[in-house]
Structure 1
Amino acid sequence: MSPRPEDAPRATAGPPHALRTVAGLLPVSGVRGPVLPHEHLALDLRRHGGRDAVLDDRHTGLISAELSALRELFGLALVVDQTCRGMGRDADALRRISAATGVAVVASTGWYYGPFLPPEVQHARVDDLVGALVRDVEEGIGPARVRPGFTRVRPGLIGEVGSSGDRPGALERKTLTAAARAAVLTGLPVATHARLGRGGPAQLALLTAQGLAPDRIAIGHQDLLDAPAVHRRLAREGAYVAFDTIGKDSYQSDTVRLRLLLALLDAGHADRVLLSCDVSRHAYLSGHGGTGYGHLFRTFLPMARAAGIGDDLLDLMTRRNPLRFLTGTAPPNRPAGPPNPRATA
């Protein structure tokens, strides 16, 4: 049985159109540049065999330098860090990076997927997991002992939570269910990890069955799934379709990503698209020779422009869509007409 809203602690929503960042509430009207809605600025998955899957204090300087350059060159305004429980989440590092770069950062809570779920998930009831997430949102995340003058960081997203196949396993169902119920109680959105793009429709069905509206859900890694019909289905049902591994050519080429994106735009679903790079290893940092957080701006968006996508549509996908996903409200300067000039009749 899920906790009733009147029985559960509830997070303070803050003023309308406000984002929860690691530095506090930020009005949406203050976000004038693009948003990266799925990245990692602090991460540690080494215990699962990924020796390269780490972003820690050794990399903070490189990350800060890269984000500062992107702010200067492209106006980068906001990064959503989707590192959740058990993934090496470091709220203090996020706060330092944001302060050093002038780029706003949103932190997250939740549990990842199958192989990365900690023992606490196996034996906990769904209600216990819901309570843990709501406490994160209500009381904040950070070190167990708070030093004088330190305030905890309150997450602005539940994610990335997910599954690894066409249908979630038993433990994944538990964590996805808890994420949805906590989202309903707190008003936060949910972003998923769909491994290799698979299982999105099942994730959406499970999350919405808990009362979570589809427009509060982003289904992740859909650019890894060459299935335009699935993308159209998710968007038609109201979810955001995240093309969020842009630049990871070892998984999928950007040429295929662009083809899939154009198909979704031509179907009239530009207002459901999210774009990001999902930097999740230190080898991806530009300072280590990787594509970095800026690949979207330096490489993919010029490809999109060459394919006929105009600047207003790019602003929709890189700024207005992620802001609407995060807050549940339409951001300023939304065009009055149809958002997708490529839409077919």
Structure 2
Amino acid sequence: MHTTLHTVTGPLSYEAVRGPALTHEHLALDLDLAGDDGAVLDPVRHGPAIAAELAALREEFDLSLVIDLTCRGMGRDPRALAALAREAGVAVVAATGWYYEPFHTPEVASASVEALAESLVREIEDGFGTTGIRPGVLGEVGSHGDVPSAPETRSLRAAARAALATGLSVATHAQLGHGGLAQLELLIDEGLPAHRVCLGHQDLLDDPAVHKELASRGAYVAFDTVGKESYQSDSTRLRLLLGLIEAGHADRALLSCDISRHAYLVSEGGQGYGHLFRSFLPRLRAAGVDDDLIDLMTRRNPLRFLTGADTEEI
């Protein structure tokens, strides 16, 4: 376990994080591969609205931390993240790694696992270019389908090796929730402990048995697209999460909204980064989940994941 988080504005003790975290978000993003301007969060056009949303959540819900999982090939902008963090008064953790194959940068096609891992370690230790800003997590390292492709396998293995070398944890992108078990197998095969892995988008997979299997092996299960009703209803998410909690795995759940289009912003009529707090958590409470479990899933679990702590340490 390490006690210091690498945020975009500098080191931060985990003990300073007193309020909830959003564990899978995007504050600056560009996934416009085919003229889809909607899949963009531009710091100039959208930054003021994003900062205002985060500041409002800090005031109303004590939002204390956002993990931005925008990585290589996704329009990552560390300087913009630092500016947003300062303006909003919310700590932000930036990421490194490679998204799923259609968004891979060219080096993934030909480089070995060793070379990819070395590249990640350099960025973790030295920072993004000349910014001095260091990533605090590996993610969202991606795959699509039930089994990762060859390039995705190399990027996942490289992420695991970089995590072992630096002490960071790994958050994945499992397309529509599929492939989480295969991702976990690859990461564990490289020697990475399961409690330093978070399998992404599991709330898009209506398969409680998979969620329980991932959690029972010690990995974090991400319910990280809360509010994206076009992909999955929040009613289904609620049922799946309650099932995981009832099975004794509340200590393995991570929650977020994965805001990845500017139409999702409150300023454009969307659900916003606060949908988790304003809509979904009240429904959890109404279903009988108490404040201690809410704190576990929204604050203590994220800190355990980021620091590599065992469940008893935070």
TM-score normalized by the length of structure 1: 0.89
1:17 aligns with 2:18: no
Query: Which residue of 9, 33, 46 corresponds with 1:47?
Result: 33
* Stretch of structure 1 that moved more, 50-59 or 29-38: 50-59
Q: Distance in 1 between matches of 2:233 and 2:142?
A: 23
Long gaps (5+) in structure 2: none
1:38 aligns with 2:24: yes
User: What is the deviation of 1:162?
Assistant: 1.4
1:277 aligns with 2:263: no
Q: What is the identity, as a one-letter code, of the residue corresponding to 1:55?
A: L
- Pairing of 1:240-251 with structure 2 (within 5 A): 240-251=220-231
Work out whether residues 29 and 332 of structure 1, in 8 Å CA contact, stay in contact via their aligned partners in 2.
no
In structure 1, the residue matched to 2:206 is 226
In structure 2, the residue matched to 1:81 is 68
What are the superposed Cα offsets for residues 103-136 of structure 1, whole Å, 9 maximum, x if unpaired? Answer: 0000000000011112211011111111110011
User: What is the deviation of 1:47?
Assistant: 2.2
What are the superposed Cα offsets for residues 262-316 of structure 1, whole Å, 9 maximum, x if unpaired? Answer: 0000100000000000000111111111101000000000010110101110000
Q: Distance in 2 between matches of 1:187 and 1:27?
A: 15
What are the superposed Cα offsets for residues 139-162 of structure 1, whole Å, 9 maximum, x if unpaired? Answer: 1014xxx4xxxx411000000001
Structure showing greater Rg: 1
- Pairing of 1:15-164 with structure 2 (within 5 A): 16-56=2-42, 57-142=44-129, 146=130, 151-164=131-144
1:196 aligns with 2:176: yes
Work out whether residues 6 and 136 of structure 2, in 8 Å CA contact, stay in contact via their aligned partners in 1.
yes
Q: What is the identity, as a one-letter code, of the residue corresponding to 2:28?
A: A
1:168 is paired with a residue whose SS is coil
1:94 is paired with a residue whose SS is helix
1:249 is paired with a residue whose SS is coil
User: What is the deviation of 1:333?
Assistant: 9.5
In structure 2, the residue matched to 1:341 is none
Q: Distance in 2 between matches of 1:285 and 1:174?
A: 34
User: What is the deviation of 1:49?
Assistant: 4.3
Q: Distance in 2 between matches of 1:192 and 1:228?
A: 19
- Pairing of 1:246-261 with structure 2 (within 5 A): 246-261=226-241
Distance 1:333 1:120, change over 3 A: closer
Distance 1:285 1:256, change over 3 A: same
RMSD: 1.4
1:308 is paired with a residue whose SS is coil
1:47 is paired with a residue whose SS is coil
Work out whether residues 43 and 55 of structure 1, in 8 Å CA contact, stay in contact via their aligned partners in 2.
yes
Work out whether residues 41 and 55 of structure 1, in 8 Å CA contact, stay in contact via their aligned partners in 2.
yes
Q: Distance in 1 between matches of 2:186 and 2:309?
A: 23
Q: Distance in 1 between matches of 2:58 and 2:23?
A: 15
Q: What is the identity, as a one-letter code, of the residue corresponding to 1:187?
A: G
Query: Which residue of 167, 170, 195 corresponds with 2:150?
Result: 170
Q: Distance in 1 between matches of 2:82 and 2:152?
A: 30
Work out whether residues 250 and 293 of structure 2, in 8 Å CA contact, stay in contact via their aligned partners in 1.
yes
Distance 1:298 1:41, change over 3 A: same
User: What is the deviation of 1:51?
Assistant: 2.1
- Sequence identity percentage: 64
In structure 2, the residue matched to 1:327 is 307
Long gaps (5+) in structure 1: 1-12, 335-345
In structure 2, the residue matched to 1:179 is 159
What are the superposed Cα offsets for residues 51-96 of structure 1, whole Å, 9 maximum, x if unpaired? Answer: 2111112100000000000000000000000000010000000000
1:296 aligns with 2:292: no
1:209 aligns with 2:189: yes
Instruction: Looking at secondary structure, tell me which structure has more helix per residue.
Output: 2
Q: Distance in 1 between matches of 2:313 and 2:121?
A: 33
Q: Distance in 2 between matches of 1:200 and 1:49?
A: 30
1:278 is paired with a residue whose SS is coil
Q: Distance in 2 between matches of 1:51 and 1:325?
A: 33
Q: Distance in 1 between matches of 2:38 and 2:268?
A: 12
Work out whether residues 24 and 258 of structure 2, in 8 Å CA contact, stay in contact via their aligned partners in 1.
yes
User: What is the deviation of 1:329?
Assistant: 2.2
2:48 is paired with a residue whose SS is helix
